[in-house]
Amino acid sequence: MGAMRGGGVALCYNLFFALLFLGMGLGLMIGRSWGFRLFMVGTVAYSLDKIMFLLSRDTRDAYLKASGVSQNVGSLLDVSMFDQGVFLTTFVLLLSWWGFAFYIYFRRDYFRKSSSPTRG
């Protein structure tokens, strides 16, 4: 945990999640067993990332500073109000993600279809 990522680390971080989400989306669309497994692995990775974000006030402060909220609005309003908004929004998104993960889990039979190109 700590400050926001920058430079090469940020590039690798964003590339990892972009490829992960692309693979998850493809796996969900075509309904293969690897798609289900990749979605569950992606859910764990996404959850850990968001939980780390929620637990680190320094990271959220860096996020608000990088977005310009601290500089543009900090003199007019209490920045902690924006931090609470970011915290709650992230928490709700994480809960929504897990709601979707439970839906995918309960529909896991969809992913047990044949691996052949002609599924019928």
User: Which amino acid type is present at position 103?
Assistant: Y
Examine the pLDDT at 81 and tell me if it is beyond 50: yes
Written as six digits, the tokens of 111 are 């992913």
Cα gap 51→90, rounded to integer Å: 9
pLDDT at 120: 43
Kindly state the greatest CA–CA separation across the chain: 62
pLDDT tens, 13-56? 999 999 999 999 999 999 889 999 999 999 999 999 999 999 99
User: Which amino acid type is present at position 4?
Assistant: M
Conformational region of residue 104, where left means phi above 0, alpha means psi within -120 to 50, and beta covers everything else: alpha
Alpha helices in 56-116 (DSSP H): 57-67, 69-72, 79-106
pLDDT tens, 95-117? 999 999 999 999 988 887 645 55
The domain limits of the chain are 7-112
